[in-house]
Amino acid sequence: MSNTAVSQFAASAGSNEKGVAVRKLISSVHTSLDGYIEGRGGSLDWLTADMDEAAVADDAELLRSVDTILLGRVTYDGFSQFWPSQTGDFADLMNHPSKIVFSRSGEAGPLAWDDFDNAELVVGDPMATVQDLKAAEGDDMVLLASAGLVQSFSALGLIDEYRIYVYPVVLGAGKPLFAGESFGLERVDMRSYPKGSVLLTYRPS
């Protein structure tokens, strides 16, 4: 996918009132207390069992503020098989925005998202792609789950805000959210929910 194609694809989602590119990239992810986004064998039972309605409402509020969803290929495979068959307000928030899917291999171009026709695969180095997306007109963007992208984007300094939902469960093993390089963050907000989870919002320090 060329830089021009990325810019055109992103700009098609809309712009702010002044037509000025002020997009930021927000990472939104749910983790266990010990920092895993999935348990052994990809288990998410711990997440669905303890999900709080207020946390779902906060997730929906975030999705309403963006016009582009960024995904890793594995996350895309799971989401694209699940969300198009769902109905309701939250499903609409997942299905209607533009999707940019990142992969190390494959053929760049359109990807299936049922009949929505709004997903695009980007292959190779993500740096130029994300920079083009940030420079394009439109609302903010959200990177959902996709721990590998969170790690690589963090190392490249591409993420402007981290929204981390932490659940009161210790998994002991699984897929970690962070691995590799160390970096500092500044906490800018914290919310707690009745079932014991918390939403921590950070920005790079």
**SS3 state at 83:** helix
For each of the domains in the chain, give its residue range(s) and CATH number, in order of start: 3-10+23-204 (3.40.430.10)
pLDDT digits (tens, 9 = 90+) for 170-201: 999 999 999 988 999 999 999 999 999 999 99
Both tokens of 199, joined, read 């939403």
- For 110-204, where are the alpha helices, taking DSSP H only? 127-135, 147-155
The predicted pLDDT at position 163 comes to 98
pLDDT exceeds 60 at position 15: no
> What would the pLDDT profile of 146-179 be if each residue is shown by its tens digit?
999 999 999 999 999 999 999 999 999 999 999 9
* Structure letter (DSSP) for residue 67: E
Residue 20 binned pLDDT confidence (cut-offs 50, 70, 90): low
